[in-house]
Each structure stands twice: as C-alpha cells, then as structure tokens.
Amino acid sequence: MRITGVIQAGGKSTRMGGEPKALMRLAGRRIIERVLDAIEPAVDEVLLVTNTPELYAFLRLPMVPDAYPEGGSLGGIFTGLKAAPGDAVFTVACDMPFVHADVARFVVSRAAEGDVVIPRVGDQLETMHAVYGKACLVPMEERLRAGRLKIVGFFDRVRVVEIAASEIAAWGDPAVVFMNVNTPDELLRARVLAGEGA
Amino acid sequence: MRGGDLVAFPTETFYGLGAAALDAEAVRRVLAVKGRPESRPLLVLVDSVEMVERVAAAVPSAARGFMARHWPGALTLVLPAAANVPRELTAGTKTIGVRWSSHPIATGLVTALGGPVTAPSANVSDGAPPTTADEVRAYFDGTIALVLDGGPTAGGPPSTVLDVTVEPAHVLRAGAVAV
C-alpha cells in the first residue's frame, strides 16, 4: 500500500503576529521542517497543500493549491487526498511542532485497516494526524459541496479505525505529540517543551 | 489535449486513449484511430462528482450510493447524458458512461485538463487491450501525441459497467468490481 504524506499549510489563520506559524522556529528549526523530518521516513512521498507556495518553495516539495479554499480543514484534506499518488494519505498540519517519527510510523503502519485510521485522545479525534484512504473522496466531496465542513461528519459513511492514546503513550505524551500552536501562549509553551526555556 | 490531440495513459486496468471528451472533433479522432464503429458509446473519466454533474442530465440517488462505495475504482456508471455531451460520445444512446479512476496518472490527467477525458482501451478495434506503453506505441506510434508511461498496468477484467438509468440498476458488463 502506497502512502503519501500530506502537510496541510492552507487555510486562513496560519499567521501569528504577521508571520506564518509554520515558519516560526523552535529549537533552531522551522516548525514545518520539524513536521517534515518526522513524517518523511514513514511515507512514500510528501506533498504540501497550500495557497501560498512562495512561502514554502524552500522545502522543495510538490505543492497543490487548496481545491476548496473556503472548505476549512476538510477542504485541505480532500485536496491532498485527491492529488496524492498513493492509495491513502497520512495528513498532518504544518503547525504541529512535536509530531513524532515513531508515532507517525505507527499510525501509517495501520493504514490498511480502515478508510480512516485515526488516534483518539479523550474526546478528541486527531483529524490532523490521521490516515485517509481514497474511498473517503466521494463522501468528503459531498460534504464540502453542501458546506458542511466538520471533518468527522463523513465518518459514518466509511470504515473508521481508532488508535487509542495508550498505544501511542510509549513514545510521548499524546497531548504534546498532537499539539498545534495557534496562539503566542501555545508557542511559548512549545518553546518550553522544546527546551528553550521561557 | 486542449488543442484536440490524443494522449494514451495508464489506468488501473489497461492503457486508455484520452481526448477532451466534450470536444466532438477530438472524440471523432479517437474513433477514427481506433477504427471503431460509431454505434458504440465511449466512457469518460472524471475526478469528482461535480464533474459527473457537468456531463449527466441527472444523477439518481442510487448512482450516488455506488459512487460512494466504489469510487475511485473500476466501476463505470451509465447515466442520462447532458445536452452538451457530443453525440460521438453517446453514439446516439443519450446516455454516458462515467468513472473516477483509482490510477493517479489517469485522474491526474483529468484534473490537469479540468474536464472529462475519454478512456476506451488504447488499441485498434480488433486488437488486445494494452497493459504497457510499448504496446500502445505499437498500435498508435505517429498517430497520437503522447503516451504517458506509468509502467505495466494490472490488466485483468475491464471496469464493471452498471446502468443506473434503470431501476434496479443493471449490469451491462461484468468486470473488475463486484456490485
């Protein structure tokens, strides 16, 4: 089974204080580079979904523009899945500084088990650290065209396999592995976690 | 293809012969190089349900169920054709066969063109359907613009063809997908 890694760098709120979040540095490395480093060994190739390719050209990844710019995260996941050469995508967001190579490899290793393979931490399904198979395309497109953008909204139409937080805990605190940085506070917290001090 | 040229490409079954499906002149060229009688319709590839709605006059809810269960994949759905579909494509049947291929090159070609692409097998009428770019070249060298070489394809049975203009849906050709 061929799996394409997809980094989501579309959407509108990707800036913090004027700078794209994904380009901020943490322990000397841009957040998006940390994401790429973690997922690249787990997948067959990586592509990037973005409407601002000039910002990310330095990564030298194939890039696709978001097919549904108003479609939120669901639109980005759909875009990556549709463009992916693989049978399924492993989708992550560009602003998750602590994506872990072993967790990524573990989730990808379960890809064949369902149309969606997704970690759950408490009440939260980690939609931005999940595998989506091509069978999700038609149900996703239906929801997008109806303007119903909740990612999990199509899950009742496909086979969903959940990965429990306990299966991942050996590699790191799930609350950290899946965290993204949306606010200056979260970035500060990430810097502490990355050992940069406050 | 935007200028009417033909491009052969791999699918999950055989190599297909592609033209911009809404360009009547290009479709005539497909029929001509294949030496195919105009009495048989050609199926087209799409890359979205939205694109289906551009070539179909109506999409019954049963059809949407088959799409959700089997696309992308080797299932061709026969639907009532929209008025803008060239007669050369429907062969006067007023229906059109559509499918969303699971092959990334086939679907990538549709996405790049931004419209449906014809996909009869890339062989002359009495020839065997090709599973390699070399076999395509042996049929059409010099007569088509390009062969996208995606390596050998799986061959096997062609796509299943299911008529969803009738209820219950009726299998016109048993093939790769069991419905």
Query: Which value does ipTM take for this structure?
Result: 0.83
Read off the tokens for A196: 């940069």
What is the domain-level CATH number for residue A109? 3.90.550.10
As a whole number, mean pLDDT of residues B68-80 equals: 96
Q: Is residue A129 part of a domain?
A: yes
Q: Is A186 a residue whose pLDDT tops 80? A: yes
Q: Is B167 a residue whose pLDDT tops 90? A: yes
pLDDT for the residue A17: 67
As a whole number, mean pLDDT of residues B75-99 equals: 95
Q: Count of alpha carbons within 13 Å of B156, Cβ hemisphere only?
A: 13
DSSP letter string over chain B? -TTS--EEEE-SSSEEEE-BTT-HHHHHHHHHHHT--TTS--EEE-SSHHHHHHHBS---HHHHHHHHHH-SSSEEEEEEBPTTS-HHHHTTSSEEEEE--S-HHHHHHHHHHTS-EE--BSS-TTSPPPSSHHHHHHHHTTTSSEE--------SS--EEEE-SSSS-EEEE--SS--
Report all structural domains of chain B as residue ranges with CATH numbers, in order of start.
7-173 (3.90.870.10)
Read off the tokens for A20: 């794209």
Average pLDDT, chain B: 95
Q: Is residue A86 part of a domain?
A: yes
Read off the tokens for A70: 């108003």
A15 burial type by CB count under 10 A (0-12 exposed, 13-18 middle, 19+ buried): exposed
Lowest pLDDT segment from A69-73, A91-95, B69-73, B118-122: A69-73
Confidence band of A12 (pLDDT split at 50, 70, 90): low
- Residue of chain A minimizing CA distance to B66: A138
For B48, which of A134, A141, A157 is closest by C-beta distance? A141
With an 8 Å Cβ cutoff, are A142 and B71 in contact? no
In whole angstroms, what is the distance from residue A192 CA to residue A112 CA?
37
Q: Is residue A71 part of a domain?
A: yes
Residues 19-58 of chain B whose Cβ lies under 8 A from any Cβ of chain A: 47-50
pLDDT for the residue B37: 75
What pLDDT, in 10s, does the model give residues A74-90? 999 999 999 999 999 99
Parallel, antiparallel, or unpaired for β A116-121 and A124-125?
antiparallel
With an 8 Å Cβ cutoff, are A141 and B50 in contact? yes
Average pLDDT, chain A: 93
pLDDT for the residue A11: 63
Q: Is residue A35 part of a domain?
A: yes
- The number of domains in chain A is 1
Structural domain including A147 reads 3-193
Q: Is A14 a residue whose pLDDT tops 60? A: no
Q: Is A197 a residue whose pLDDT tops 90? A: no
**Selection from B179, B65, B47 nearest residue B117 by Cα:** B47
- Residue of chain A minimizing CA distance to B69: A135
Give the DSSP H or E segment for A180.
Answer: none
Q: Is residue A198 part of a domain?
A: no
pTM: 0.90
Parallel, antiparallel, or unpaired for β B43-45 and B95-99?
parallel
In whole angstroms, what is the distance from residue A33 CA to residue A130 CA?
19
pLDDT for the residue A188: 85
Confidence band of B28 (pLDDT split at 50, 70, 90): very high
Strand partners, A16: A19
